[in-house]
Amino acid sequence: MSASTSPAPPLAGLRVVELAALAPAPFTGLLLADYGASVLRIDRPPTSPMVRPTADLLARRKTSITLDLKNPSSRRILLDILSHADIFIEPFRPGVLERLGLGPKEVLLKRNPRLIVARLTGFRRDGRYKDMAGHDINYIAVSGVLSMLGRKGESPYAPGNILADFGGGGVMCFMGILLALLARQRTGRGQVVESNMVDGSAYLASMPRLSRQFPFWSGERGTNLLDGGCPYYATYETKDEGKYFAVGALEPKFYEELIRGLGFSAGELPADREDKANWPAIRAAFERRFREKTRKEWEDVFQGTDACATPVLEQRELEREGFEQRLAVGLDDTPGIPFKADEGGWTGGGLAPGDGGEETLKSWLGWERGRDFEMQNGTLVEVGKASAKL
């Protein structure tokens, strides 16, 4: 079947306006763009101290215009755009949008009842930390998630900024937008989607939180089945220093394949692998054995087996070998023709303020420079109202 008959991206035709920010909000916009939505990023004026033209790497398939939201003329342009948009992603701290005269219920939804306003904050909008600055590590700290991460006897360990910014923030906000779109299909009306990284991270941790009453996750941090305590759910350094193998042989039949692949004979390892008292001995034996071969040699041993043993591949290796980053969800409206939103998944970034935005305004609204807007110091304003300031 030819490419021309492939199904259209599922979000094609949706118009998304994203206020420029870092990490979670851009990731929400990236997810929408990758699945077909048209995403217009609103950047701050070039003279703003907050402008970081190269900081947002999550700009694939987006375009940009620059607006000064403290300028009434620029603000009216935003309102006009939002009157014809489907989704508005707002990453400000509580109260900022309202102080700009852009309250979601008071202003935005009255102008465009079908608009979905996605509000994404770090801390809860009404909680004790609502007016404080924070980053991923702070959000997972107060959510209770950080306390579960790390080795026994060591400080809690934050795994980059993946959990709060991208999982609990961007992905959860994306899910809220999709639910709001489903609701709009029934009611014809948009709504405000409230999302925060504290509750989002806590929700991601539902399984370990609920498992604390059961033996496999009832111990202190770093002593349980899935948090680094178990020797058959861990990583091991191989003979080539700095290379590692990952082991996840939880089920007995997979564990048997792992032991067979590692070349252990009967009696070399403690018989009861579920007894935590035996875990140190099993781990020590695994550490010694994995250091006897290179990662490539272990790959050859375990390739095609059910031992749940795989190499820990590094990002530069994936890029060098041409591995394609694919979207997490492959859609297949037509048998045999999965929707591929990204053929070059390692690409991103490079969207400078103003790139492509005028073309998007023309496509969405039929606007043209000089007739519907003009530029002043790199910022869009209404025609004839360039000097209007608060």
What CATH architecture does domain 3-204+328-381 belong to? 3-Layer(aba) Sandwich (3.40)
Most confident range, picked from 58-62, 94-98, 170-174, 378-382 = 170-174
Is 46's pLDDT higher than 50? yes
Residue 383: pLDDT band with limits 50, 70, 90: confident
| Average pLDDT, integer, range 178-187 | 97
pLDDT, tens only, 139-150: 999 999 999 999
Burial class (CB in 10 A: 0-12, 13-18, 19+), 367: middle
| Closest of 51, 57, 49 to residue 30, by C-alpha | 57
What's the confidence (pLDDT) of residue 321? Answer: 62
Does position 290 have pLDDT exceeding 90, yes or no? yes
**Mean of pLDDT values over 336-341:** 43
Length of the chain: 390
Position 47 pLDDT exceeds 90: no
Residue 170 DSSP symbol: I
- DSSP H helices, the chain, are 24-34, 72-82, 96-99, 109-111, 136-143, 172-187, 197-204, 206-210, 252-262, 279-290, 295-302, 315-321, 357-365
Full-model pTM: 0.88
Query: Among residues of the chain, what percentage have pLDDT more than 90?
Result: 73
> Residue 335's pLDDT band (boundaries 50, 70, 90)?
very low
pLDDT tens-digit series, residues 256-286: 999 999 999 978 999 999 999 999 999 999 9
- How far is Cα 205 from Cα 201, in angstroms, rounded to an integer? 6
pLDDT recorded at residue 232: 97
What letter would DSSP give residue 92? Answer: P
Domain limits, CATH 3.30.1540.10, in the chain: 233-237+244-311
Residue 341 has pLDDT above 80, yes or no: no
For CATH 3.40.50.10540, list the domain ranges present in the chain. Answer: 3-204+328-381
Does the annotation count 165 as an active-site position? yes
Considering 56, 86, 136, 165, which one is annotated as catalytic?
165
Phi/psi for 40 (5° steps) reads -110, 115
What percentage of the chain exceeds 70 in pLDDT?
87
pLDDT digits (tens, 9 = 90+) for 147-170: 999 999 999 999 999 999 999 999
Mean pLDDT of the chain: 88
Take residue 330 and report the two structure tokens written for it.
């492959």
Sheet holding 233-237, edge to edge: 233-237, 244-248, 309-311
CATH number for the domain whose boundaries are 233-237+244-311: 3.30.1540.10
Residue 390 confidence (pLDDT) above 60? no
pLDDT given for residue 60 in this prediction: 87
Closest CA to 97 of 121, 129, 61: 121
Pairing outcome for strands 62-66 and 87-90: unpaired
Q: Which residue has the higher pLDDT, 260 or 342?
A: 260
pLDDT at 371 over 60: yes
Average pLDDT over residues 313-331: 70
Whole-number Å distance between alpha carbons of 324 and 69: 39
Per-residue pLDDT at 49 exceeds 90 = no
Give the SS3 label for residue 141: helix
